[in-house]
Amino acid sequence: MRPIYPVIAPLALALPLFWAGTVGANPAGNKLTVPSPPPATVVKPSPVNPKPAQAITNSAPATVKPAQTPVKPTQPTIKPAQAISKPVPATAKPNQTTVKPAPTVATPKVEMPAPTPTAVNVQRVLYVNPASGLDSANGQAPQTAFKTITHALKFAEGGTLIQLAPGKYSAESGEQFPMQLKPGVILRGNEATRGEGVLIEGGGRFVSRVFARQNATILAGETTHILGVTITNRNIRGTAIWVESTNPYIRNCTFTNNHREGVFVTGEGAPRIEDNLFIRNGGNGVSLTKASKGEVRRNVFIQTGFGLAIGGVSSPIVTDNRIENNVDGMVISDVAKPVLRGNRIAFNRRTGIIVISSAQPDLGTSASPGNNTFQSNGNHDLHNATKNITLTSVGNRLDMSKVNGLVQLQ
C-alpha cells in the first residue's frame, strides 16, 4: 500500500439542524435561513438512527496522491433561482419538522435525457380524470373515467394500471391521503414529460412501524410502479413517497416543493428509483436509512437541502446521478455502506460528499473504479469527518485541495 501523506485542510462544515424531542414532536416550523458556516474545529452531526451525536474533530489529515487529475471549473447547468432554506440533516429523525419549502414558482427547465416508457405487465386499466371524471362512472375508458385516484384504488389489484389524465389531484378534487398502493398496482401519468401537468398534491398522516407518526402523499406497496407523475407534499414533515420494507419502481417522476423529502426509504426497503427529477424540496431528495438497499440511478438532484441522505446500515447502489446546486450533495452516516459509481457531484454550496459516524462508502476499487466526478463544490469535494476510518477513492475526478480527512486517493 502506498504511504499516506498528511495534508490538513480546515474543517468548515457545520451541519445545519439537529433533531431533538420525542417521536411525533411538532415544532412551529418557522422558516429559517442557512447562515454562513463559521470556522470550526468540531462538528457534531447526528446519526440517522435516533441517538445522540458525538463530536467529530478534525484531527485526521487528508491523504492525497499527486497523480490525481484536477477538475477545471465550468459553469453549472442552471443557477439556483433563490436561496435554499435550511435543510434536513441526513441524520435527522423523519418525524421532525423542517423548513417550509419556498413559495411555488415555475420549475426551471433542467436538461435531462429524453424519458423512455416503462414496460409494464397490465391486466386491467382504470382511467382517472380530475376535471371530467365521475366516481359514479365505471372507469373503464377515458370517456367514463373516475374522478379520483382514491376511488380507483378501491378496485385496483395487482396488475391494474391506473392511468391519470392531466390535471391536479388534491383534496380539493376529492383525493384522500395518504394513497396506499396495493402490491402490483401501477400508477401512471405522463412519462414523456416526467409528470409535467399531472400533479398529485397533498399528504396525510399515518403511523410507520419504524418511525411512528409521519405524513406522506403515497405509501408504496410491494412491486408497485409509480411512473410519470409530479408529487408535492407541503405539509409539516411532508414526504412524497414513503417506502417501508417494500420494493417499488419509481421512474420518470418529478418531486418538487415537498416539505421534507421526495422519497423516504426505511426498514428493508429496496426500491428502484430511476430517471427522476428532485428539485426544490425542503429537506432531502432521497433519504435511505435502517437496512434499506435498492438502486438510485440516473436521477437529477438540484436546488434542495441534501441531494441524498444515506444512513443506518443501508447499502444502496447509487450510480449515474447528477447532484448539483444543493446545500450539500450527499451525507453518509452511521455505518452505511453505499456503492457510488459514475455520479456527477458539482456546484453544491458547502460539500460534495460528507462522511460521518462510522460510515464507509464504496468510492471505487481497482476492479471497479468509482468514476465519480466532483467539481466546484464550496468547502470540500470529499470530507471524511469520521474519527479513525480511512476512505479509499479509486478512479474518481476531484480537486485534491478540497479533500479533507483520512482519504487515500488512487
- Alpha carbons 65 and 69: distance in angstroms, whole number: 10
Per-residue pLDDT of the chain (410 residues; tens, 9 = 90+): 444 433 333 333 333 333 333 223 332 333 333 333 333 333 333 344 434 333 333 333 444 343 444 444 444 343 333 333 333 444 444 544 343 443 444 556 788 999 999 999 999 999 999 999 999 999 999 999 999 999 999 999 999 999 999 999 999 999 999 999 999 999 999 999 999 999 999 999 999 999 999 999 999 999 999 999 999 999 999 999 999 999 999 999 999 999 999 999 999 999 999 999 999 999 999 999 999 999 999 999 999 999 999 999 999 999 999 999 999 999 999 999 999 999 999 999 999 999 999 999 999 999 999 999 999 999 999 999 999 999 999 999 999 999 999 999 99
Distance CA 379, CA 77 (A): 20
Residue 87's pLDDT is 38
pTM of this structure: 0.77
Return the pLDDT at 107.
54
Q: Map out the domains of the chain as residue ranges.
A: 124-409
Retrieve residue 24's grid coordinates.
411525533
pLDDT at res. 20: 32
Q: What is the largest CA-CA distance in the chain?
A: 73
The β-bridge relationship of strands 277-279 and 272-274 is unpaired
The predicted pLDDT at position 32 comes to: 31
CA pair distance 323, 304, nearest whole angstrom: 10
Which residues, 6+ apart, have CB-to-CB distance to 331 below 8 Å?
15, 45, 89, 90, 91, 306, 308, 309, 310, 353, 354, 355, 356
Under CATH, what is the fold of the domain 124-409?
Pectate Lyase C-like (2.160.20)
Q: What is the spatial distance between Cα 183 and Cα 374, in angstroms, rounded to a whole number?
A: 39
Number of other CB atoms surrounding residue 41 within 10 Å: 11
- Taking alpha carbons only, the member of 183, 145, 185 closest to residue 165 is 145
What pLDDT is recorded for position 22? 29
Identify whether the C-beta of residue 333 lies closer than 8 Å to the C-beta of residue 308: no
Under the phi-then-psi rule, with left for phi > 0, alpha for psi from -120 to 50, and beta for the rest, what region is 77?
Answer: alpha
| pLDDT at residue 108 in the model | 61
In this prediction, residue 110 carries a pLDDT of 86
Residue holding cell 375508458?
Answer: 141
